[in-house]
Amino acid sequence: MCGIVGALMKGTREQSVEIVARGVSALAHRGPDDKDIVEVDSSHDNVKVVFGHRRLSIIDLSEGGHQPMRDRETGNWITYNGEVYSYLSLRKELEDERRRWVSHSDTEVVLRAFAKWGVDCFEKLRGMYALAVWDVRKQELVLARDPFGIKPLYYYRTENLFLFASEIRALLASGLVPRRLSPEGLASFLDFGSVEAPATILEGVRSLLPGHSMTVRFSGNSFQTEEKFFAEKLWATDERVAVKNRDEAVVQLREILEESVRLHLVSDVPLGLFLSGGMDSSALVALMSRVSTERPKTFSVVFAEGKFTEAAHARYVAEKFETDHQEIPLSEDDLLGLLPSALSAIDQPTIDGINTYVVSKAVKESGATVALSGLGGDELFAGYSTFRRALRMKRLERFPPRLRRTALALGKPFANGSVQKKKLWQLLTSEGSARDVYKISRQLFAPDERLALLVEDADEVERENSNGLHDIVNAVSLYELRGYMANTLLRDTDAMSMAHSLEVRVPFVDAEVVRFMLGLPGAWKMRGDGPKPLLQDVIKDLLPTEFMRRPKMGFTLPFESWMQSRLRDQINQKFADEGGFIKLGIRPEAAQKVWARFLLNPRSVGWSRPWSLFVLANWCELHQIEL
């Protein structure tokens, strides 16, 4: 796991190296073990190509894994962030008696794979990655990002410049990216609490979409780009997997999950697992016990107040599987003391991520460099309320349209009031599609609320679609995977864990696991009692039924309470700064109204709405961003 940055630009060698050096410095937290900056060959005398790299050593800790790395035969260069878990099998496939390997790293395998297959190699990589390759023969830059967006990759381009980096802060450090807020990104943030890719919160900065590659060429005295969706086959199918029944699917799924967990355990540094005590992390511990002879190392954050912890359940799992378990106590004072540094670690404004920052810091300080997470389990195994909500909406189609219209007319007066009532009304008046259910359920501010906040609204852009999936459960799963998971959970997990130089791996978010799960009938995932019944059946011989069927709790922090007490003065000051909101294109009186309504009736408004405006204003002030 590392940090990458690079530049293609017109100018002198000194200028281009200095610009990349600034980006490398801004990414110091992502790679404390090694760094380098390399000027890459280019046949265009007036165009300089420079790669920079920050290394967090995970596989092959020797100098052999140093980056940027050059292929001695082709002359190609790579700067690479991630882990390809299938690298050993790929290495065998790439064996060549005429060439010897110079390292044991997955980086060298990826570099040779590119030499053999070009951009088609990315379909063969099973893992998480964001990378850049300079193709010397074609004089092209190639960027690529894993199918799920586990690793981030941003870019900024003008006619004479192309910059890329692992984090937005590295692009800003170049001094060449205007510090302007994107109207599109701002509207997206208010819609969902994070910015939907490919937009970002900054004007002109884009995110390379998951499963995409981009080729950059210098042609006609300017930079030209061409994008390819190489992971399209993973998503664009309603094809069923070859299983006769649900029982057979459970057996095959168990094998696929065990394989994914085994691959995710490959590491040359200490590795542990976030054990919250919930079903997903507990399932990973259970599966680890099946595929590894080593005693798993598990970590649980335990809160002194005991109001939002599953410590007892985590303890049970640790004892059952005899893990090397460590409980990390944190008090409310500890958590609030970490808040300023957590807010500074955010790479793009988000309503999430603070909990990941807290846990990652504790785990890193306990000696681990790699941690496994159960992220992705809810999206794949229908753990969210959106799945059952979508099924209920589907059942409403049985009622005649006239009857539904009459019922809606009678119910409209009751839609005013809480956010929950408003969302229910939006759902009932929608077409009831998977997209409608996902979008309304994940909505932060309703369209009319967004209009009230913004001085000038941006055009709404329809991003993800269900690619023709007719199974409504699988369609919701796809929206959750490519929407909330990619744009909020994975993005925040990367930024907040790498702030502490901690690599987080997500075995559920694996190409083979996702392909199999999307190929099963959605009804099979919903059949049973309690949360995620299909996952329950996969591990029923490892964990007792009563343990798995208890209500989902999740790891949350008590923001609702803090915002009314210990954080109130700080947030009050931010909302009182009318000039700060005006600079962002937000009507200060509308923002203040959101805050006042929350203080009057917190449960009705929800803490995430005023918190989002506070985080946005804080982030923009920190990075000197204006509309």
CB 388 within 8 A of CB 438: no
pLDDT of residue 402: 60
Handedness of CA 457, 462, 463, 464 (dihedral sign): positive
Do the bridges between strand 370-372 and strand 503-505 make them parallel or antiparallel, or are there none, so unpaired? Answer: parallel
156-185 confidence digits (pLDDT tens): 999 889 999 999 999 999 999 999 999 999
**Which residue matches tokens 């004089």?**
139
356-394 confidence digits (pLDDT tens): 999 999 899 988 999 999 999 999 999 999 999 988 888
What's the length of the chain?
Answer: 627
- Do 2-230 and 238-382+489-548 fold alike per CATH? no
CB 335 within 8 A of CB 358: yes
Give the integer Cα–Cα distance in Å for 49 and 132: 12
Residue stretches of the chain with pLDDT short of 50: none
Q: What is the pTM of this model?
A: 0.94
Closest CA to 359 of 286, 301, 294: 301
CB 446 within 8 A of CB 416: no
In terms of CATH architecture, what is 2-230?
Answer: 4-Layer Sandwich (3.60)
Give the integer Cα–Cα distance in Å for 520 and 527: 12
In terms of CATH architecture, what is 238-382+489-548?
Answer: 3-Layer(aba) Sandwich (3.40)
pLDDT of residue 328: 86
Domain boundaries, the chain: 2-230, 238-382+489-548, 558-627
